[in-house]
């Protein structure tokens, strides 16, 4: 198979819908452009929102975009906990929803530097095998603890046990882990920002030149030439 083309080169901002995997979105871009293609951070299939897709020679600087802070909107059902932290898992506990005052108390403990277990459905490897595969096979594993930073965790609305939350977090933060720590699970999850890039800018037909994309995160074109 011949190598993928190095052009068109640049960054695409894609608003991924619920359903397809991040890999499927990348594969669609690759089919359309014929270029080498990758992403700078996955979204679960049930989640929607901003996906950064690198095309052509710009894939060499994907690591520059992976560590950017993220912003999410999520609806968390606080009446049940699932084994994955989202709506696709099995319910393992049901309980009454907390009061608004109790919810705020729980949120306060999750702001700043936090350490939470990685959700079982996350694409991390445990003993050489992907955690989701082990989970589907019914294998119980001790998920690793991950340290992350929660810069903002605000309630937009709270009704009938479901809280809509607005989060600003460091890269690598699992929103499903936060939902589980609150005593609930994510019903919806939408990524609205990655670093300076916003989902409102998404246009899968527009390719942002590498030097412009790097400039928006404070790096020069030399970052591309050095790789």
Which residues are part of the catalytic machinery?
44
d(CA 106, CA 208): 41
d(CA 8, CA 36): 9
**With contact defined as beta carbons under 8 Å apart, do 179 and 85 qualify?**
yes
**With contact defined as beta carbons under 8 Å apart, do 126 and 143 qualify?**
yes
List phi, psi (to 5°) of 77.
-85, 110
Question: Measuring CA to CA, how many Å separate 163 from each of 12, 105, 182?
Answer: 32, 14, 10
**With contact defined as beta carbons under 8 Å apart, do 12 and 53 qualify?**
yes
Residue 89, helix vs strand vs coil: coil
**With contact defined as beta carbons under 8 Å apart, do 54 and 213 qualify?**
no
């Amino acid at each position: 198979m011949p190598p993928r083309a190095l052009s068109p080169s640049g960054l695409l901002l894609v608003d991924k819908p619920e359903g397809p995997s991040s890999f499927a979105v990348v594969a669609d871009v690759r089919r359309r452009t014929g270029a080498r293609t990758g992403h700078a951070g996955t979204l679960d299939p049930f989640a929607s929102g901003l996906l950064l897709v690198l095309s052509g020679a710009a894939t060499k600087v994907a690591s520059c975009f992976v560590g950017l802070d993220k912003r999410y909107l999520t609806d968390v059902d606080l009446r049940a906990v699932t084994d994955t932290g989202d709506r696709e898992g099995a319910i393992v506990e049901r309980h009454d929803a907390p009061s608004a005052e109790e919810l705020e108390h729980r949120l306060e403990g999750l702001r700043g530097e936090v350490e939470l277990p990685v959700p079982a459905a996350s694409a991390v490897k445990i003993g050489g095998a992907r955690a989701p595969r082990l989970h589907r096979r019914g294998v119980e594993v001790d998920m690793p603890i991950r340290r992350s930073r929660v810069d903002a965790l605000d309630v937009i609305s709270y009704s009938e046990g479901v809280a809509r939350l607005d989060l600003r977090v460091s890269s690598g933060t699992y929103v499903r882990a936060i939902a589980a720590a609150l005593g609930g699970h994510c019903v919806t999850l939408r990524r609205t920002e990655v670093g300076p890039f916003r989902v409102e800018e998404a246009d899968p037909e527009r390719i942002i030149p590498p030097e412009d994309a790097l400039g928006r995160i404070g790096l020069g074109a030399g970052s591309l030439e050095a790789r």
